[in-house]
Structures are given as structure tokens and as C-alpha cells.
């Protein structure tokens, strides 16, 4: 038995309205037959629109039911965006659909098949930081040198191996070092298994292996998902592509149910925007896909609705310098627009000052600050820029850095919650066993770990064997967690968290701390997050735009139909979506971020700073041709973020690692078309030859030397501003989803009825909610407790009294 699909809705918008305003290429892509297809979607070409419209069109024309398609993205944001747009296009709840991130969908899959995947039902997800601490524990337990086996690097190695589909036994042992690494990997795997936790890569690998090794399960899913749509396909790694292959049969492939129709894998991507090779992404997957699936439909989306001509000309000319491209050229009907402005500064400090002044000038001329982005290659560059903005009192927002669920106080709180769910989660146990301080020293913890190691049990299970005063304190801690578990059973998420915060002493601890105000506020924010989570989650409520992974946790178990607890769902959410990083979101502030972080975003005005050799392209990447090409793609991504105005900036000197460094201007500047540029400082600058001579005279003097240099088109302000934006595709007006009458009596159930469940035995129906595929019943089973069951899966037989 498997999760079933939702019914097809009664009313849909007419096909003509769905397809209106698509350009010919977009239309062709949207209406392709159910066959493998590769869409080369240039920056700003309406990629998301094609994806969502295709989904809507497939549903509208009855080619597929909502449960029969899957759409995969990389980020929660992209998945959310897709769901939001879809719910505006379709008159029904998109919630049950398999639309989400790779990891979110894997989680959903493993929650439904936890037994077959050899996982505990309450398995927890380790984020990157958790994984490093877990690796560290393994290395210590093996008494290895942490200098030689740096936990972070080992964690990277393990993740890399998993993303290549390799288990410890598959690691090719070339030397003593890899031998040991494979051993650590094995021990780490054992530890995770023992503790009931999985890391990000494990989510993927475990679900891939389950499908690979179970032909019937694979056949089931292949028969179910008639259409599989993938966003940002150029960023997929080996494992992700292999995972997709499990869901979409290749031409001529047979499976347990006989010959399968070739899976309609609809891949959307842009090889020119592949910027994650360093993390294992494999652009080659695009070519492999075309070959292996004998792709007959390849469509290029080259019409750009975002940027003016000069900006696109720059992007096109730059990327021409790369080899082995699939070939694509962006074009626009928006006219050339403003020239791309290039500026040289004597120092990074002066550069920051210039950017600040230009940005503020734009703001005074009417551009919202939130529509101005300052981009840089590496995070270290943000500080001098931040300082300039801060001193000028200009509001700004730095993207990246610590995110909500990664904050220490939040991780502590989550650790308590995870222990409530799964006491064997040793990572969480160690995090909070002595936090807030309970007089449990490091030595006692080590003793406990020794016992646990010797007996092969979790720390929590080993506490009883620890004697002495330390043993008593530990036992108190275990009792605290157990008490919380008892105390919070059946309570709302809000109550659970509030009780935990009080009973654990976390809140008191931070209240007493001098600098703890922010942390207290964050903990309060956690309660709020839980509250809104529940509201969105709320059984039976209409939901229009729904955060993706939040649905995942509530999928019913494949065997019993049991729905996991809101707490478990919340913990999954916390692990899979780290949350945003800034409280000041919403304010009109200048946006600052790395180029990587800017991918997928767009702004009226963009500043690309630090365009210097060894910075951008970065010195570590420039050595290899592949590295240089990726840097160039990175520059391409940066350029194509701009709608109306683009500023390129570089500096003669820069403080780096505590030293003043002198860099030549980036080679990328020379790869841009002269006609699209306007040099605000002399193109052949007085310092371009190096850093000798009248260097000091350059400070300050090089400033505001006016715009009379260079030349090309002037172009004038105003007039055309806003054009690019209004020409961009807008989502169709949102028809409100019709309210559906709850019909929970699908199985002839009613409140108070006594029922029988194959696994849980006799029970009494306490409540009924939702309808159709969403219908749920709350049943009290006595010995097995009270459970929410999905009626589409759970078999409940009424018992006559």
C-alpha cells in the first residue's frame, strides 16, 4: 500500500487562458508530448513560468492527475515559488502533490517507507553542522589524530562519496589515508544507524538504493509518476541523476511489471549557469541525459524578459569565451538601455565609498533600495562594504551567514525536542546534557561514551550503568527529558515548545545572561515559527501557498496510514529548511550577497564589486581551465541579475588576510564588448601597469573623475525605466480555490465509532477531518495510543457493538 493521489479537480481554467502570453518557444515547451525533453532556459527567459504552466497544462488537459507527477527543485524557495504560482493557476489544493526539493522528496519517500529503508520511524535529519560534530565524535572514538583527519574535511569526504553513490566498501583504497577515511566513513555510518539519524546525502542515497534494490517498489513509482519535471538540471550531481533514473525509465528499460514506457523526464536547465561543480554538480548530466534518454525534444529559451540590451550583450560576449557550451544567446526587445558602467578605485575602501554614493544616487532617483544589489565573489569582501553603508546610515541586508535554525540557542532547543522524539539521538544528547549547566563535567560524559561504546548502546540507554554522583545527575537529565515526553504528549506544538523551554531551563539561562536578549527573542521566535507552522499545517484548513517541506512530514506511513506527529514534522522542517537569516527582512534595504547567493534573483540595479584577478576569477579556481570557466559562468550569472543598470567595479589595492594586495583588473572586463560599456575612470588607468610610481597620489584623486571618459551611447535616464519589468511574464490572476465540503464519511466513519486497524487493533474514532485524499481520522487505540490516520491509506473497519 502506498500513498495515493488526490482526485482531479472539477473545474480548471480554460486551456487558452493558461497558454496565453507564452512566446512560441515557451508554448512549444509547455505543450510537449509525454517524452523526455531538455529545455535550455537562459537567464530571465521565463523558466519557472514554463515549468508551472506545463504542470497546469498537463493537469488541465487530463493527461495526468495531481498525484501522477513530480516536480523537483534544489531550493525550498524555488519549490515554494512553484507551488505559489500553481495554486494561483489551479482551482484546488496543491498540497498533496509531489513538488519539492530533492531532499524534501527523499524525506517524504523515506517517511513512507521507513521500514524497508531500515530506519526508525522517528529518524532525525542531521544538517551540515550536525554531521561534522557526528564525524568528530567518530574520529575521537577511533582515537585518531584530528589534525590529520579534520572533521570538517572528513565530513566533506563522506558527503562526496555518498553523492557519487559510494558506500564505505566501494571506496577505492589507494593509500593508508583513504583506507582510514573509509574506516571512519564506516564507523560514521554505523553510528548514524545506531542513533537513528541521516545526513543530507544519506536521504538521497538511501532512497536511491531502496528503489534500485526493490524492483516492485520502483515499478510502482514509475507507473505512478507519468511526468517528472526537474528545475536547474545543470546543478544535479551523480546521485541526483541516478535517483531521477529510478523514477523515469530509460527507453527500452524493463522492470518488474514488464516493459515500461519511457519516463517523461522534463529537464530544465542552463549550462551557462552551472556554478556548483565544486560541490559535485555535473553539467555533463545534461549531455548524458540527452544521450541515454534519446531526447528528441530540445528547446532553447533565449528571449530574455529581464534585462536591457547592453547588459545582455555583455553577458553573451563574456560567455562566448567558454568552450563546450550547448550554445545559447540571450536576446531582448527592450532596447539597449543604459551602458554598463565600469569604475576603478584606488582602494577597497574607496570602492565601497563609490558604491555607496552611486547606490544612494539611484535611490534618490527613485529606485527602491531593495532593488539594488551589491554582489561580491567571497564573503570576506562584504565587511568593507558593510562598514561604508553602516557609517552612512544606509539600511542594508546581508544574505548568507548564520540562519535561524543554525543559531546556537535554536539548535539547543531543537536538541531537546529531538530527544523527546528520539532519545537515542546522541548528537542531541551531547549538545544539551550539560546545557544549561547541570554540573556534568566532560569526564563524566566521556565515561558515559565509553560505556555506550562498549555495549553498543546509545548514551541515553547507558546512563543507568554510570554510577556515582555523575550517574545521578545524568539520570536526572534523562528523567527531565522523559518527563517532558510524558508531559507534552497530545499537546499542541506551541505548548510542547513552551514547556520544553521552561523545563529545560534554556529560557531562564538566556534571560539571566547579560547579552542574552537576542537569544531570548529568537527562542520566542521559535514558538512563533511553530505556531505558524501549525496554522499552515492545520488539518482541514484551506491553504493557498504552502511551504513545501512542511507537508512532507505529514505524509501517512505506507503500511499503517499513520500520520507522524506535528513535532516530528516540525523537526523535519527545521532540518530541511534552515530558515532565513535576517530579522530585518521587509525593510527597504540594499541587498548584499555573494554571486552564488544571487543566482535566481533579479534587481533593477546591480553592482559587481572586486573585479580583480585572483579575486574574481578567484586564484584557487584560475589554475585549471574548468575552474576558470566556472568563474566565468559565475560572472555570467552576476551580470544577468540586472534589469536596468549594471555597475562593474574594481580596485587597485585591497586588504586581504591582513595584507594589502595589489591585483590587476579582472580579465573578464576585457571580455566584454566595448560598445556596451562606459568607463567612468580612464580605461587605460594611470595605475593599470602596476603598483609603482605615483601610487599614493591615486588615493582620493581617482575619484569622481566624471563620466566624460569612454563613450559609446549616453542613453539618458528615465523614459524607459520599468520596461523590462512590465514585459516580464506575470502569473495569471488567482482564482480562489473553491471550498470543498468535508466528506470524512468516505468509509462510513463517524465520531465515537469503534473501529479495527490491522496493526493497532481496536480503537475509537475521536475526530474526523479533511476530505477525499486528505481525509483523516483521529483514533484512540488504547495500548498503541492516539493516532491520526490517513483514510486513503489506513484500513479501518467499523466494529458493531
* Cβ-based nearer residue to DNA, 504 or 594: 594
In sequence order, the β-bridge partners of residue 765 are 779
Query: Of these, 140, 279, 296, 453, which contacts DNA (CB under 7 A)?
Result: 279
Q: Is 420 helix (H, G, I), strand (E, B) or coil?
A: helix
Q: Could you say which residues in the range 338-377 bind DNA, by CB under 7 A?
A: 377
Burial 340-353 (b: 16+ CB within 10 A, else e): bbbbbbbbbbbbbb
Write down the least CB distance from residue 102 to DNA, Å: 7
In 579-669, which ranges are E strands? Answer: 590-594, 603-608, 642-651, 653-656, 659-662
Q: Which of 576, 669, 680, 790 binds DNA (CB under 7 A)?
A: 576
Q: 309: which residues sit within 8 A by CB, 6+ positions away?
A: 332, 334, 335, 336, 337, 676
3-state SS string for 385-405: HHHHHHHCCCCEEECCCCCHH
* CB nearer to DNA: pick between 159 and 187: 159
Q: How far is the CB of 274 from DNA (least distance, A)?
A: 9
Does residue 469 touch DNA according to CB under 7 A? no
Contact pick of 48, 504, 591, 594 for DNA (by CB under 7 A): 594
145 touches DNA (CB under 7 A): no
Residue 516 binding DNA, by CB under 7 A: no
Q: Does 592 bind DNA (CB under 7 A)?
A: no
**Sequence-ordered list of residues with C-beta below 8 angstroms from that of 178, at least 6 positions apart, any chain:** 171, 172
Contact yes or no for 408/520 (Cβ under 8 A): no
Q: How far is the CB of 578 from DNA (least distance, A)?
A: 5
For residue 48, say whether it is annotated as part of any ligand binding site. yes
704 is in an annotated binding site: no
Mapping DSSP onto H, E and C, the string for 262-285 reads: CCEEEEEECHHHCCCHHHCECCHH
The answer to whether 530 is a known ligand-binding residue is no
- Cα–Cα distance for residue pair 368/395, rounded to 1 Å: 11
> Minimum distance from CB of 403 to DNA (Å)?
8
* Helices 200-213 and 238-247, packing angle to 10 deg: 40
Are 377 and 610 in contact by the 8 Å Cβ rule? The answer is yes
Residue 387 C-beta: closest distance to DNA, Å? 8
User: Out of 130, 232, 270, 371, which residue is the one contacting DNA (CB under 7 A)?
Assistant: 232
The Cα 474–Cα 433 span in angstroms is 8
444 assigned binding-site residue: no
390 touching DNA, by CB under 7 A: no
With CB under 7 A as the contact rule, the residue among 140, 383, 489, 750 that binds DNA is: 383
The one among 20, 140, 278, 476 contacting DNA by CB under 7 A: 278
Indicate whether 142 belongs to the interface with DNA (CB under 7 A): no
| Residue 759 marked as a ligand binder | no
Select the span of 112-120, 433-441, 646-654, 785-793 touching DNA (CB under 7 A): 433-441
Q: In terms of CB distance, is 6 or 572 closer to DNA?
A: 572
Per CB under 7 A, 128 contacts DNA: yes
Cis upstream peptide for 79 (omega within 30°): no
Residue 392 found at the interface with DNA (CB under 7 A) = no
- Which residue, among 84, 121, 105, 91, has the nearest Cα to 3 in the 3D structure? 105
Bond prior to 160 in cis (omega within 30° of 0): no
Other CB atoms within a 10 A radius of the CB of residue 161 amount to 19
Taking the complex as a whole, the smallest distance from the CB of residue 705 to DNA amounts, in Å, to 28
Count CA atoms closer than 13 A to 527's CA, side-chain side. Answer: 15
The residue range among 287-295, 496-504, 626-634, 635-643 that interacts with DNA, by the rule CB under 7 A, is 626-634
Stretch that binds DNA, among 47-55, 254-262, 430-438, 726-734 (CB under 7 A): 430-438
Task: Report the nearest approach of DNA to the CB of residue 512 (Å).
Answer: 9
Taking residues 755 to 774 in sequence order and writing x for each that binds DNA by CB under 7 A, - otherwise, the string is --------------------
Which of 287/597 has CB closer to DNA? 597
Q: For residue 441, state whether it binds DNA (rule: CB under 7 A).
A: yes
Cα distance between residue 150 and residue 762, in whole Å? 54
Give the C-alpha separation, 286 to 334, whole Å.
31
To the question of whether residue 658 is assigned a binding role by annotation, the answer is no
597 binds DNA (CB under 7 A): yes
Angle of the 468-488 helix axis to the 442-455 helix axis, nearest 10: 80
DSSP 8-state class, residue 738: P
Range 71-110, binding DNA (CB under 7 A):
74-77, 101, 103-104
- Relative to beta strand 653-656, strand 754-757 is unpaired
Q: Which of residues 540-559 bind DNA (CB under 7 A)?
A: 549
Residue 95 or 599: the one with the smaller Cβ distance to DNA is 599
Cβ-contact 30, 22 below 8 angstroms: yes
Residues annotated catalytic, as ranges:
47-48, 231-232, 273, 641
- Does residue 428 have a known ligand-binding role? no
CA nearest to 662, candidates 635, 700, 701, 688: 688
**Residue numbers 602-621 binding DNA by CB under 7 A:** 618, 620-621
Quick check: 5 binds DNA (CB under 7 A)?
Answer: no
> Least distance from C-beta 147 to DNA, angstroms?
8
Cβ neighbours of residue 232 closer than 8 Å, sequence gap 6 or more: 73, 74, 78, 268, 269, 273
Residue 235 has which C-alpha cell? Answer: 546543478
- Rounded Cα distance between 414 and 590, Å, is 32
CB nearer DNA, residue 38 or residue 635 = 635
579 is in an annotated binding site: no
User: What's the min distance (Å) between Cβ of 676 and DNA?
Assistant: 26
**Binding residues for DNA restricted to 187-226, rule: CB under 7 A:** 200-201
Instruction: Report the nearest approach of DNA to the CB of residue 754 (Å).
Output: 42
For DNA, the closer of residues 104 and 770 by Cβ is: 104
- Interface positions with DNA (CB under 7 A): 74-77, 101, 103-104, 127-128, 200-201, 232, 235, 275-276, 278-279, 281, 377-380, 383, 400, 434, 437-439, 441, 549, 576-578, 594, 596-597, 599, 618, 620-621, 627, 631, 634, 655, 657-658
Binding-site members are 41-48
Binding-site members for ATP are 41-48
Amino acid at each position: 500500500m502506498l500513498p495515493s493521489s488526490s482526485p482531479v479537480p472539477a473545474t480548471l481554467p480554460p486551456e487558452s487562458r493558461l497558454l496565453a502570453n507564452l512566446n512560441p518557444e515557451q508554448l512549444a515547451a509547455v505543450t510537449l508530448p509525454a517524452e523526455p525533453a531538455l529545455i535550455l532556459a537562459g537567464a530571465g527567459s521565463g523558466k519557472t513560468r514554463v515549468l508551472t504552466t506545463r504542470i497546469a497544462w498537463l493537469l488541465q488537459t487530463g493527461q495526468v492527475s495531481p498525484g501522477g507527477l513530480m516536480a523537483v527543485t534544489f531550493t525550498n524557495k524555488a519549490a515554494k515559488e512553484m507551488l505559489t504560482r500553481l495554486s494561483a493557476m489551479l482551482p484546488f489544493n496543491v498540497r498533496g502533490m509531489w513538488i519539492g526539493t530533492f531532499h524534501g522528496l527523499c524525506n517524504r519517500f523515506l517517511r513512507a517507507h521507513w521500514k524497508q529503508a531500515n530506519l526508525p520511524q522517528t529518524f532525525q535529519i542531521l544538517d551540515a553542522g550536525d554531521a561534522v560534530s557526528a564525524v568528530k565524535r567518530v574520529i575521537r572514538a577511533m582515537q585518531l589524530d584530528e589534525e590529520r583527519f579534520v572533521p570538517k574535511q572528513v565530513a566533506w569526504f563522506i558527503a562526496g562519496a555518498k553523492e557519487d553513490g559510494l558506500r564505505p566498501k566501494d571506496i577505492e583504497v589507494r593509500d593508508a589515508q583513504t583506507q582510514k577515511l573509509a574506516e571512519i566513513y564506516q564507523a560514521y555510518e554505523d553510528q548514524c544507524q545506531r542513533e537513528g539519524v541521516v545526513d543530507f546525502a544519506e536521504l538521497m542515497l538511501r532512497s536511491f538504493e531502496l528503489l534500485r534494490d526493490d524492483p516492485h517498489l520502483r515499478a510502482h513509482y514509475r507507473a505512478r509518476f507519468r511526468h517528472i519535471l526537474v528545475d536547474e538540471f545543470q546543478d544535479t550531481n551523480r546521485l541526483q541523476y541516478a535517483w531521477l533514473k529510478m523514477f523515469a525509465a530509460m527507453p527500452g528499460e524493463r522492470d518488474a511489471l514488464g516493459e515500461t514506457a519511457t519516463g517523461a523526464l522534463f529537464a530544465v536547465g542552463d549550462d551557462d549557469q552551472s556554478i556548483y561543480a565544486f560541490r559535485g554538480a555535473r553539467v555533463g548530466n545534461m549531455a548524458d541525459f540527452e544521450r541515454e534518454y534519446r531526447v528528441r525534444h530540445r528547446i532553447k529559451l533565449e528571449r530574455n524578459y529581464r534585462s536591457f540590451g547592453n547588459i545582455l550583450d555583455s553577458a553573451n560576449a563574456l560567455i562566448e569565451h567558454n568552450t563546450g557550451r550547448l550554445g545559447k544567446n540571450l536576446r531582448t526587445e527592450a532596447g539597449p538601455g543604459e551602458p554598463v558602467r565600469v569604475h576603478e578605485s584606488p582602494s577597497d575602501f574607496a570602492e565601497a565609498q563609490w558604491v555607496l554614493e552611486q547606490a544612494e544616487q539611484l535611490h534618490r532617483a527613485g529606485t527602491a533600495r531593495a532593488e539594488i544589489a551589491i554582489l561580491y565573489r567571497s564573503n570576506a569582501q562584504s565587511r568593507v562594504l558593510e562598514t561604508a553603508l553602516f557609517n552612512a546610515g544606509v539600511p542594508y541586508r546581508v544574505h548568507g551567514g548564520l540562519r535561524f535554525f543554525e543559531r546556537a540557542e535554536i539548535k539547543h532547543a531543537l536538541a531537546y525536542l529531538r530527544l523527546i522524539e528520539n532519545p537515542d539521538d546522541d548528537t542531541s544528547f551531547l549538545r544539551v546534557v550539560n546545557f544549561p549547566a547541570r554540573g556534568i563535567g566532560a569526564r563524566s560524559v566521556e565515561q558515559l561514551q565509553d560505556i555506550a561504546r562498549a555495549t553498543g548502546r546509545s548514551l541515553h540507554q547507558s546512563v543507568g550503568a554510570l554510577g556515582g554522583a555523575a550517574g545521578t545527575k545524568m539520570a536526572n537529565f534523562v528523567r527531565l527529558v522523559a518527563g517532558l515526553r510524558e508531559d507534552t504528549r497530545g499537546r499542541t506544538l506551541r505548548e510542547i515548545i513552551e514547556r520544553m523551554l521552561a523545563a529545560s531551563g534554556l529560557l531562564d539561562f538566556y534571560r539571566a545572561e547579560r547579552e542574552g536578549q537576542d537569544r531570548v527573542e529568537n527562542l520566542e521566535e521559535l514558538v512563533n515559527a511553530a505556531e505558524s507552522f501549525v496554522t499552515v499545517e492545520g488539518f482541514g484548513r484551506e491553504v493557498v501557498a504552502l511551504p513545501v517541506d512542511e507537508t512532507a512530514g505529514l505524509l501517512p506511513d505506507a503500511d499503517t496510514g499513520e500520520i507522524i506527529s506535528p513535532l516530528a514534522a516540525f523537526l523535519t522542517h527545521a532540518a530541511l529548511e534552515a530558515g532565513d537569516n535576517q530579522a530585518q527582512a521587509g525593510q527597504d534595504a540594499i541587498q548584499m550577497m555573494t554571486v552564488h547567493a544571487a543566482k535566481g534573483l533579479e534587481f533593477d540595479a546591480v553592482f559587481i564589486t572586486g573585479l580583480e584577478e585572483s579575486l574574481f576569477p578567484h586564484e584557487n579556481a584560475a589554475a585549471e581551465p574548468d575552474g576558470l570557466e566556472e568563474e566565468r559562468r559565475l560572472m555570467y550569472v552576476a551580470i544577468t541579475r540586472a534589469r536596468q543598470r549594471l555597475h562593474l567595479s574594481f580596485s587597485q589595492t585591497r586588504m586581504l588576510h591582513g595584507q594589502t594586495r595589489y591585483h590587476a583588473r579582472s580579465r573578464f572586463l576585457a571580455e566584454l564588448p566595448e560598445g556596451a560599456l562606459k568607463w567612468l575612470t580612464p580605461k587605460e588607468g594611470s595605475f593599470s601597469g602596476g603598483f609603482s610610481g605615483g601610487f599614493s597620489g591615486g588615493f582620493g584623486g581617482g575619484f569622481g573623475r566624471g563620466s566624460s571618459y569612454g563613450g559609446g551611447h549616453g542613453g539618458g535616464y528615465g523614459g524607459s525605466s520599468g520596461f523590462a519589468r512590465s514585459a516580464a511574464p506575470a502569473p495569471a490572476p488567482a482564482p480562489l480555490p473553491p471550498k470543498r465540503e468535508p466528506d470524512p464519511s468516505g468509509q462510513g466513519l463517524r465520531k465515537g465509532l469503534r473501529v479495527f486497524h490491522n496493526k493497532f487493533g481496536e480503537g475509537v474514532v475521536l475526530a474526523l477531518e479533511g476530505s477525499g485524499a486528505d481525509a483523516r481520522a483521529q483514533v484512540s487505540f488504547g495500548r498503541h495510543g492516539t493516532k491520526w490516520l490517513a483514510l486513503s491509506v489506513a484500513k479501518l473497519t467499523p466494529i458493531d457493538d
